[in-house]
Amino acid sequence: MADKFSLKDHLFNPQTVDQLAQEYAAGVPHFDPQKFARAALGGFDTRELMARLEWLADCIEAQLAEGFDAMADQLEAAMPAPLDPALQDDDFGHFIHAVPGILAVRHGLEAHRPRAMDLLYRATQRFSMEFYIRAFLNRWPQETLAMLQKWVQDDNYHVRRLVSEGTRPKLPWAKSVDLTPDQTLPLLDILHADPTRYVTRSVANHLNDLSKIRSDLVLEHLASWKAAGKQTAKELDWMTRHALRSLIKEGHPGAMMALGYDPDVPVTVDLDILTPTLAVGETLKFNCQVAAATDLPVLVDYRITFARPEGKQGSKVFKLKQGKATPSKPFGVSKAHKLKGDATTFRLYPGRHMVTVQVNGVDRAQACFELTD
């Protein structure tokens, strides 16, 4: 059996530690790469992913100057070349280059804000400083937002992306940030027209976060951006779909209408469960047909309501298909959904389960199946 993939070992291992050691040895006089590598690798076994980052920073800091200004100079001297500015997407950088952000927060947040912000500016062109800018937004909100107002027009798209990503309301793995939509949306009003997908994906993810709090503001801004015409129609359409994905799963009427799917259209749905009884680990199979009196676009999703112990229930929405239903040709779709028994995030229990088919966000048909051990 193949070894289970370990993200922490993929990111932090002898090869990546050696790369970091050589970078610091080349940029910082008297830096001992062997001493650093021994210390870093020796502390990995007991630490998880994010703790390994902090440990790397500990081991680097042990050989740097004590004063922050001198330390920041050394951190910059050890940085690799900036990420390729000619690329447009999927250029996140490497986690090992997060060390300057950790030390900027650790030693620059209180007494050296301007120098620490400058360090983050340079570091984010090697690895996103989205986790570390948030400490400055919480401690120095006005000063940091003023800097982001400048960065939003920066020539480097990694810097522009940091403005959106670092201010996201629900950034994964990151600490919360005390900002209001009134403070962040003006930045997105500029960034939404960015020519780089890496930036516009972040803007869409930011809006998706915000949609869980203020769906009205998200829909208003998407409509205003469409009216402004500063972004290409194709890219804005992609951004809109990506930004509204959580609302679409919820069947939010305004989000459905924004994507051209009318929740109130008259349709009929025939749902046929082909596997009414199956065991954990087997595949649920079903067919459905959507018929309409007029030609109309349809977005078809399905929700499984799972049985839980003590009569409780849980549910999850899954994407199915989008297309067009016409009077002469019903919209048909088949699905095979494997009910995995080894999922680490969602345990299955035997009992009566239910499939609900949604068309344009509205429940249209339901059918049950029995899950056994």
Region 275-293 average pLDDT:
93
- Torsional class of 3: left (φ above 0), alpha (ψ -120 to 50), beta (otherwise): beta
- Spatial CB neighbours of 186, under 8 Å, sequence gap ≥ 6: none
Q: Read off the pLDDT band of 1 (50, 70, 90).
A: very low
Q: In the predicted model, is pLDDT for residue 147 greater than 50?
A: yes
DSSP letters of 223-240?
A: HHHHHHT-S-HHHHHHHH
Counting residues of the chain whose pLDDT is more than 90, the rounded percentage is 82
CA distance 316 to 309: 17
More confident residue, 277 or 308: 277
For 85-113, write each residue's pLDDT tens digit.
777 777 778 999 999 999 999 999 999 99
Q: Which domains are delineated in the chain?
A: 7-258 (1.25.10), 267-372 (2.60.40.10)
Q: What's the pLDDT tens digit per position in 327-343? A: 888 888 999 999 987 76
Percent residues over pLDDT 70 in the chain: 98
Confirm if 82 and 126 have CB atoms less than 8 A apart: yes
Taking only the tens place, the pLDDT of each residue in 56-76 is 999 999 999 999 999 999 999
Take residue 201 and report the two structure tokens written for it. Answer: 């994906």
CB 134 within 8 A of CB 86: no
Cβ-Cβ contacts under 8 Å for 306 (sequence gap 6 or more): 313, 314, 315, 316, 346, 348, 349, 353
Give the residue carrying structure tokens 């112990």: 309
